[in-house]
Amino acid sequence: MNSILASALVDPPRCALPLYVLPVRAGFPSPAADYLDQPIDLNELVVRDAAATFFLRVQGDSMRDAGILDGSLVAVEGGRRPAHGDIVVASVAGEFTLKRFRQGRHGAELHPANPDYPVIRVPPGEELQVFGVVVAAITQFRS
């Protein structure tokens, strides 16, 4: 890996973008406000540990009800221990998947956010490897 790329991974460049003070309503329209808050930097918002964070493009719709759609980018913090309810990137019997992690009485469970998909139950003793916890998702609606 060249030194410029390695430096960018450890200390990502900053890009401050405007953030409006008032949130936009997703229901009924509200009067527009031209008040700006302090700028936000998406690296600071999404990346807590630059050396452990990576991005993946999602394929499929098993997490659509969690707002993660086919083609979304997810920011994943690798090596982070998952808590009950976290969305994780995991491997079960060599197959990678993106699901919500739950610890059940009979072992770990990986839950989809789409009723068309089954829950993956991982009984004690079966191999489950969690590669990281999803900390953000970016869905692009128009390129």
Structure tokens at 21: 């003070």
* Catalytic machinery residues: 62, 99
d(CA 132, CA 91): 10
66-100: per-residue pLDDT in tens? 999 999 999 999 988 999 999 999 998 888 999 99
Q: Which CATH class is domain 49-143?
A: mainly beta
pLDDT > 70 fraction of the chain, expressed in percent and rounded: 75
pLDDT > 90 fraction of the chain, expressed in percent and rounded: 48
Mean pLDDT of 30-49: 72
Nearest to 46 by CA among 4, 24, 14: 14
Nearest to 58 by CA among 46, 67, 45, 48: 67
Helix (H) / strand (E) containing 107: strand 107-111
Residue 118 above 50 pLDDT? yes
Q: Residue holding tokens 């493009």?
A: 57
- Per-domain boundaries in the chain: 1-46, 49-143
User: 88 with 99: CB under 8 angstroms?
Assistant: yes
